[in-house]
Every structure is written in structure tokens, then in C-alpha cells.
Structure 1
Amino acid sequence: MDAHQIITCEIPMRWGDMDAYGHINNVQVVRLLEEARIHAFGPPGGTAALGQDPPVPLFSSVAAGVQALVVEHRIKYTATLDYRNLPLKIRVWIANLGAASLDIAYRIHDPHTDRLCVKAQTTLAFVEGGSGSLLRITPEQKRQVAPYIGPSLFP
């Protein structure tokens, strides 16, 4: 990987995340990505999630009424992710910063073998909650994420 900062999030696997084969179910992978995203960039503003101090308070510092909405998920499963009674270490960074959207990249490795199991990207956009109008990424948001901008996982 390039010389950018990566946020490593420890997210526990739950027994209920497992499918009949002992793997983490693909639907649960999306939940794990969401938990890593909130761990790294904060809970959405206005959710009263007090006491959380994310590495980059991107979502928790937006103005009242602003929503960060998922536009797209891209997920590639490179190996099965077996259930383990160990927390996952999910690596997170910004893969692309556009005028009005950003891509968050993730790599999930097996916590026992360190084998890459999932690589994913989520595109998010900020919108004004009342009108649904798309908002541009602010200079402050660009400053917050600048050290974490790295390569895209999907060309």
C-alpha cells in the first residue's frame, strides 16, 4: 500500500454472523463494514452516540440535518472468512475524494491467519436531510481526511 495513514478497527464477530458452513455470511459483511466506518469516522450527527471519539470525526461533526448516505457498495470476496472467537481487524482509508462524494476502502483479513478475505469500497454522499440536495465536500472535511487518502481497490 502507499504511504498514507490507515485506520485499523477491531470489530467483534458475532455467533449469529455465521452461516451453515461456519463462514461469516455475506450479508453480515456489509454490517461489519458499517461498524468499521462508524468506528473510523464517527456515528452520524444527531444520533446521541456520546463518548465515542473516532480517529476522524467526519460524520459526527456534520451540521444538523446533514446526512451521509450510502450510494454504492462494491465487495470482492477473495477467501472465505471463517467464524473465529476473535475480533476482526478491518483496515479503512479514503480511496477517492470527489467534489460531492467519497469512497471508503476496506480490507478484512482473517484474524487468525491474516489472509485477505474481503476487499470493499463504499461510496457516500452528503445530503441536506430536509430537501435531499446533494452537498459538496467542505474544505474542513477535505482537511480531516487528507492524511487517509490512499489507493482505490477497484479501478
Structure 2
Amino acid sequence: MTEASPRPVLYTTEVPLRWGDMDQLGHVNNTVYFRLFEQARTEWLGSYPQTPEDNNPAYVVIIHTECSFLKELKAPGTVEVRILAGDRGRSSLVQHYELRRTDDPQTLVSTGSAKLVWVSPDTGRSTPIPARFLENLPGN
């Protein structure tokens, strides 16, 4: 599968695969795919640090995530993880993920998604997406 998503790309990172990421059959374990998505998501979130002017110190929780395993993946190697923009609500954002080996960038090995919700540390309830993220999302 070589199709690229028509969704806007929010972030791209490369992550090396490790020997310990493999299962006893020599394939990258299914839980590692979620960790790769998490690594990209964490880097993306960290690229918009809170500032003193930001009056919304919200944190993110994941309320749903999923992964489709399209091709086998083996270590060693490096994968590119792309985060693509999805639907957005007042306090939520869906991110879509694409995973490809850097030595075979035409082949899509996995897709996934996660629904992020911003939460107020004071109330524990959902809160609007902070401006530092909204300003950098498509459609603004």
C-alpha cells in the first residue's frame, strides 16, 4: 500500500527500531506500534510549550486509540511516523498516524489514530484546546 493520506501533516519524526522491540518470531511487537505513535505525539505536544501568557495549562488524555497492521515490520531499521490532522472539537482533536520504514518510504506499514482531549488540572474536566495548539492546526 503506497497511498498517502490527503489530510494535512502536523508533524513527522523518525524513530529507530530496537532489537528488544521484536517478538519471538522476529516481528516488531504490536504494542510497539502504539509506542511509536506515542513518541510522535509526545514530540508534537512538546513542540508547543506552555508560556507565561498561556492561561490554559491543560494536559492531554487519550480517550481512544487504534492501529491497523498492514505490513510486517522487523528491526533493525528506522521508521518515519507522520501525524495527520483529523476532526477537531472544542476540547478534542483526532490525530491520524502513518508508519513507514525510512528505507522503503513508499510502503505504508501501519495506520492508526488517537482522540486527544485537553483536561483542566484544576477541575479534571475537559477544557478548550489551548491557543498555542489551535493557532497551528489547519483551518485557523
TM range (shorter): 0.7 to 0.9
Q: Is the contact between residue 10 and residue 87 of structure 1 (CA under 8 Å) also seen in structure 2? A: yes
4+ aligned runs moved over 6 Å, structure 1:
none
User: For residue 15 of structure 1, what is the aligned residue in structure 2?
Assistant: 19
| Structure that is richer in strand per residue | 2
Q: How many residues align?
A: 132
User: For residue 108 of structure 1, what is the aligned residue in structure 2?
Assistant: 99
C-alpha spacing 1:134/1:117, structure 2 compared with 1 (3 Å)? same
Q: CA deviation at 1:40?
A: 2.4
User: For residue 87 of structure 1, what is the aligned residue in structure 2?
Assistant: 78
Q: Deviations over 1:22-47 (max 9, x none)?
A: 111111111111111122231xxxxx
CA distance in 2 between partners of 1:128 and 1:4 (Å):
27
2:22 is the alignment partner of 1:31: no
Q: CA deviation at 1:131?
A: 2.1
Q: CA deviation at 1:63?
A: 5.4
Q: TM-score, normalised by structure 1?
A: 0.74
Secondary structure, in 3 states, of the residue corresponding to 1:144?
coil
What are the within-5 Å matches in structure 2 for residues 46-57 of structure 1?
Answer: 54=47, 57=48
Identity rate, percent:
23
C-alpha spacing 1:6/1:141, structure 2 compared with 1 (3 Å)? closer
User: For residue 51 of structure 1, what is the aligned residue in structure 2?
Assistant: none
User: For residue 135 of structure 1, what is the aligned residue in structure 2?
Assistant: 127
Q: TM-score, normalised by structure 2?
A: 0.81
Q: Is the contact between residue 10 and residue 137 of structure 2 (CA under 8 Å) also seen in structure 1? A: no
Secondary structure, in 3 states, of the residue corresponding to 1:33?
helix
Q: Deviations over 1:56-84 (max 9, x none)?
A: x1xx3275752100111011111111212
CA distance in 1 between partners of 2:133 and 2:87 (Å):
13
Secondary structure, in 3 states, of the residue corresponding to 2:95?
strand
Structure 1 unaligned blocks of 5 or more: 43-53, 150-155
Letter in 2 for 1:88: V
Structure 2 unaligned blocks of 5 or more: none
C-alpha spacing 1:63/1:17, structure 2 compared with 1 (3 Å)? farther
